[in-house]
Amino acid sequence: GQQLNQSPQSMFIQEGEDVSMNCTSSSIFNTWLWYKQDPGEGPVLLIALYKAGELTSNGRLTAQFGITRKDSFLNISASIPSDVGIYFCAGLITNAGKSTFGDGTTLTVKP
Amino acid sequence: SQTIHQWPATLVQPVGSPLSLECTVEGTSNPNLYWYRQAAGRGLQLLFYSVGIGQISSEVPQNLSASRPQDRQFILSSKKLLLSDSGFYLCAWSNLANYGYTFGSGTRLTVV
């Protein structure tokens, strides 16, 4: 089946630093999604990308849908302590009924 | 607005006991519904998904089952729990107007 390779697996950064994480796949997706999971909670959708090459921002977050449709990245600028959590990428093929999730990037921000 | 309810929040069950976790969605019709399990600090494992009443797709063979008795109700069950069934169970929904998933707040299950 389809698999997403999400990297890095974990990141330890200082408050104020920028963060970059990405997802790659051997398969093409029509939609890329990025989620954040706070400890003990369900993941929450951050950004959805629907078109190859699309670059979308949500506050300090920026995500891009790769031109090949096989990858996506998420950047967080000027990190703050509340950015701590697990970030998941997900790829979706229209009408497939389900998304394919990456294994997550665990972000730790030191004050 | 759409909301998703998942309960209970935490559950401690003995090995061999039955399980029933319920998830309901409000404010939308004919949603796709999903059950995921997450081990501590790990990724999301898709267990079951449903695109309509009575339609269940199983992703991972195990001693769990799912049912969708109503359009916006999704139930995860087991007849006899195993220690390995412990984990964080998440329900989610999506539809064609919103490909992104909306997750419930999760149930932390500990089998002892």
Q: What is the pLDDT of residues A22-45, one digit of tens each?
A: 999 999 999 999 999 999 999 999
Q: Does the pLDDT at position B33 exceed 90?
A: yes
* Mean pLDDT value across residues B70-89: 96
Distance CA B93, CA B78 (A): 21
- Residue A43 CA neighbour count, 13 Å, CB half: 32
The alpha-carbon gap from A22 to the nearest alpha carbon of chain B, in Å, equals 15
B57: contact with A, CB 8 A cutoff: yes
| Whole-number Cα distances in Å, B51 to A101, B25, B91 | 18, 14, 14
Chain A residue nearest residue B50, CA to CA: A97
User: CB-based burial of residue A106 (10 Å sphere; 0-12 exposed, 13-18 middle, 19+ buried)?
Assistant: middle
Distance CA A90, CA B48 (A): 17
pLDDT band at B40 (very low <50, low <70, confident <90, very high): confident
Contact: A98, B32; criterion CB under 8 Å: yes
Answer for the pair A2, A88: CB distance below 8 angstroms, yes or no.
Answer: no
The type of residue at B92 is: A
B105: contact with A, CB 8 A cutoff: yes
- Residue A44 CA neighbour count, 13 Å, CB half: 10
Q: Does the pLDDT at position A48 exceed 80?
A: yes
Answer for the pair A19, A110: CB distance below 8 angstroms, yes or no.
Answer: no
Q: Does the pLDDT at position A2 exceed 90?
A: no
Q: Which residues of A touch B (CB under 8 A)?
A: 31, 33, 35, 40-45, 48, 50, 86, 88, 90, 92, 94, 97-99, 101-104, 106
pLDDT band at A109 (very low <50, low <70, confident <90, very high): very high
B40: contact with A, CB 8 A cutoff: no
Give the distance from CA B71 to its chain's centroid. 15
The tokens describing B49, both together, are 């998904």
- First CA to last CA distance, chain A: 40
Contact: A45, B101; criterion CB under 8 Å: yes
